[in-house]
Each structure stands twice: as C-alpha cells, then as structure tokens.
Amino acid sequence: MSGTTGGAAVGGRFAVPVVDISGWSGGSAAGRALIAADVDRAASTVGFLQVRGHGIPDGVVRDFAAALDAFFALPLEEKRQLRPPSPDVNRGYTPPRTEKLSLSLGVATPAEDLFEAFNVGSEAASFPGLRLPEAHYPANIWPPVPGFRRAVEEWCGRAGALARRLTGIFACALGLAEGYFAPFTDHSLDVLRMNHYPRPEGDLVPDRGRLGMGAHTDYGIVTVLWADRVAGLQILDDRGGWHDVAPEPGCLLVNLGDLLARWTNDRWRSTLHRVLPPTDDAGRLVRRRSAAYFHDGNWDAEITALPGCVPVGSEPRYPPTTVGRHLAEKLAGSRAGRLNENAPREAARLRKADNG
Ligand SMILES: O=C(O)CCC(=O)C(=O)O
Ligand SMILES: [Fe+2]
C-alpha cells in the first residue's frame, strides 16, 4: 500500500514526497518493498518526506496542539522561570531571540532567531541500571500548566514509536535487517522541541535579516515534525534554492538527520532547512507552531559508514564519531553560541545558497 505522490520537482513545483506507511506493519512483502523503495528515493533526493498512514489519532494531535498553546500563552516572566540552569542543558524554556541555529553548522547570522521553544527529552532516571550521564540525559522541567505533561508525554510516546518504525523501514531500504538500528537506539537520546514563532509586536512586515529559525541540519537519526500549515519552513536544494514546505492535511513531515548522512556516507541527505518569519497568504506576519521530535540514538553509539555505503578503494566522507560527541558540538553552537567548526560540509552548502 505505498504511494509516492510527488517528487522533488513536479511540473516545475517543488514537492516533498508523500509516503503512505500504513501497509508496513504486517503488510505483504511486495507492499513493504514498495514502501522501502519510496523511502529510499525520498531520502536520496530530498531528505524530507511526508508520512501518511502514521496511525496517530487526530484527537492526540489536537490535545498536543492545545497543550502547546496553553504553555506559550503564559506570561514571558513565568516562562523564563522554566529556563534550564545553563544553555548546555537541553531542557526547558528558550525565550525568543536567544539562539542562532546556524551556529550549529559554523555560520553566524546577523540576528538571533525569532522562535521561542520548550524542550523535553529522555532522562537518565528512565533507564535505571544503565548509569547514563545526566549531562546528556538531564531531568525534565515541567510547567505548571494543567494537562500539559500528559499531552506532551502522549505525543512523545507516539512520535517516538513512529520514529522507531521508520528506522525499521530505513534499515530495509538500505538492504539491512529490519532490526539493524535497534542496538544503536535502545537508550536513545530523544528530544521534543516545541517551537513557537510569535508574531513580532507591532511589525507588519518581516524584519530583514531576522529568521524564525536559522538554517541548520537536524543532528540525530530522524526527526518527526508536526507543523502548522503556515508558510515559513523552507528547505535547500542542491542548486542553492530555498523551497517552501508545509505538510499536507493528515501528514507528518519527516526529515533525516546528520547521523543517517554519516551512516550512509551521503547516499541519504541531512537536508538544510530554515524558518522565515511566518506569513499568511497576503504576506502579513502571523504566529506559527511546530514540534520537532528528534530521535538521536544512544549517546555512546559509534557512527561509522554502513557496510556497502563506501565504494571499494575510497575513504568514508566523515570521520567516525559518537552520538554524544556529535550532539555536543552541535548544541554548543545553537544553544551556547559557540561557532561549531566541525561541520565544514554543511557550512559550505549554506554559503553557496541564495540567501535572499
Ligand atoms: O518550525 C519548523 O517547521 C521547523 C523546526 C525545526 O527545523 C527544528 O526544530 O529543528
Ligand atoms: Fe530542524
């Protein structure tokens, strides 16, 4: 039951491929092979797909969106109380105009990004016996908003299960056993970043140079992205052109992160993306919400090119790393403002882009 409706460019318009995965679990071998082939094509050409048939009920999405609204509606002073003890702790509240995502790939933008965010993620305490480092698996901070924790935990459970189903599809699409990635993700460091792009007070048109969220690649294995169907998100193509992306009704966006690019030696893409100040059809500034569920893998997992992805006689394009080291370099850039000098390939792609 697979269907790819759309390709990288359909009739001159850019489109993110839609893949219906409802026939994956328990489906026929032929149906599963079609889904894996569709995913392989989208991963190799666009690095983003839209997943239909993900099985998450509308009511769960509605409750989650309501929880986001209730949290972001709190007065700024109350939200500021929920900041982590230091920006290195990837939890809690980030006020608007404090991070620059492009620093994660070593490029500085003139102004801080517009977004505000609230992060939750995997905690060391959830894996008793493994003695995971608190620095990578810090405790969550929960706001005093009735129903927020329940709705957010429900969403994390659903998005996390979808991410795991996707890694099974990815393994098959790469010619590996379905459970290939399981040993890399049995204590996966997953983070949900809930983003809010407030409409800037008083501004009618976007302030040039101020982005909703600066250009970046996602750092981990795969991201499940829920987003309002409001213009803002753009992805970069090979020729340096930016393209607007919004999910089709009922679909979730899914994009690959750096670890899959490293694993596949760039057969699959960790696509650069950014968010412009969101606007409506008439070009007026509006608010927008999104939530990125990052499935990043075990902090101590070693990432080296997969069998078959490096041509005989050539060197892998990336040096080996661990999930923990890669994330720490990226987060030092985006959250703590230290330019990441370990992402030369991504920085070169951004410098080549048309930044208009
Ligand atoms: O707001 C969006 O649509 C994208 C957010 C994003 O790229 C992220 O949180 O990493
Ligand atoms: Fe992202």
User: Tens digit of pLDDT for each residue in 4-17?
Assistant: 333 455 545 578 99
- Report, as an integer, the average pLDDT of 182-192: 97
Residue 353 lies in a domain: no
Nearest-angstrom CA–CA distance, 226 and 294: 12
Determine whether the shortest distance from the Cβ of 193 to ligand 1 is under 6 A: yes
| Closest approach atom of ligand 1 to CA 197 | 1
3-state secondary structure of 313: coil
Tell which wins on pLDDT, 336 or 41.
41
The per-residue pLDDT for 204 is 66
The single-letter DSSP state of residue 97 is: T
Question: Are 129 and 146 in contact, with CB atoms under 8 Å apart?
Answer: no
Task: Check if 227 has its Cβ closer than 6 Å to any atom of ligand 1.
Answer: yes
Q: Tell me, what's the pLDDT at 183?
A: 97
Answer yes or no: are the C-beta atoms of 102 and 216 closer than 8 Å.
yes
Which amino acid, 18?
V
Q: Partners of 203 in the beta sheet?
A: none
Question: Is residue 292 assigned to a domain?
Answer: yes
Q: Report which ligand 1 atom has the smallest distance to the Cα of 255.
A: 7
The total number of structural domains that make up the chain? 1
Q: Which residue has the tokens 């409001």?
A: 230
- Give the ligand at the shortest distance from the Cα of 117: 1
- Percent of the chain with pLDDT strictly greater than 70: 93
State the distance from the centre of ligand 2 to the C-alpha of 314, rounded, in angstroms: 31
Q: Could you tell me the CATH number of the domain that includes residue 90?
A: 2.60.120.330
Single-letter residue type at 244: D
Q: What is the mean pLDDT of the chain?
A: 91
Specify the amino acid at residue 349: R
- For tokens 């679909």, what's the residue? 251
What is the CA(224)–ligand 1 centre distance, in A? 10
Residue nearest to atom 8 of ligand 1 (CA): 292
List the structure tokens of 122: 């995997």
Does residue 213's CB lie within 6 angstroms of at least one atom of ligand 1?
yes
CA of 269 to the centre of ligand 1 (A): 16
User: Atom of ligand 1 at shortest distance to CA of 245?
Assistant: 3
Is 186 within the bounds of a domain? yes
CA distances for 147 relative to 66, 142, 192, 225, 288, angstroms: 9, 11, 17, 22, 21
Half-sphere exposure of 50 (CA within 13 A, CB side): 20
Q: Which has the minimum average pLDDT: 140-154, 184-198, 261-275, 333-347? A: 333-347
Question: Which ligand gives the minimal distance to the CA of 256?
Answer: 2
Across the chain, how many H-helices and E-strands are there? 7, 17
320 within domain boundaries: no
Residue 173 is classified by DSSP as: H
Residues 6+ apart with CB under 8 A from 85: none
What percent of the chain stands above pLDDT 90? 75
Where in the sequence is the domain holding 269, given as residue range(s)?
4-97+113-298
Read off the tokens for 350: 């951004």
For residue 205, being part of any structural domain is answered with: yes
For ligand 2, the distance from its centroid to the CA atom of residue 256, given in whole angstroms, is: 10
Query: Tell me: the pLDDT tens digits for 118-156?
Result: 999 999 999 989 999 999 999 999 999 999 999 999 999
Residue nearest to atom 1 of ligand 1 (CA): 290
Whether 324 is covered by a domain: the verdict is: no
- Please check whether residue 225 lies inside any domain of the structure: yes
Looking at the predicted structure, is the pLDDT value of residue 342 above 80? no
Average pLDDT over residues 264-273: 96
In a domain, 57, yes or no: yes
CB 85 within 8 A of CB 336: no
Average pLDDT of the residues in 223-239: 95
Pairing of strands 242-244, 48-52: unpaired
Q: What is the pTM of this model?
A: 0.94
The residue to mutate among 192, 273, 296, having the most atoms of ligand 1 within 8 angstroms of its beta carbon, is 273
Q: Over range 318-334, report the average pLDDT.
A: 89
Closest ligand (CA of 211): 1
Residue 155 token pair: 């969403």
Task: Give distance in angstroms: CA of 213 to centre of ligand 2.
Answer: 9
Q: Report how far residue 347's alpha carbon sits from residue 258's, in angstroms, rounded to the nearest whole number.
A: 13
Please give the Cα distance from 83 to 272 (Å, whole number): 27
Expressed in angstroms and rounded, the spacing between residue 224 Cα and the centre of ligand 2 is 10
Ligand 1 pocket, residue 292 CB under 6 Å: yes
- Across 3-156, where does the E strand assignment appear? 4-5, 9-10, 13-14, 18-20, 48-52, 92-94, 116-121
User: Does the pLDDT of residue 316 top 60, yes or no?
Assistant: yes
Is the CB–ligand 1 distance for residue 290 below 6 Å?
yes
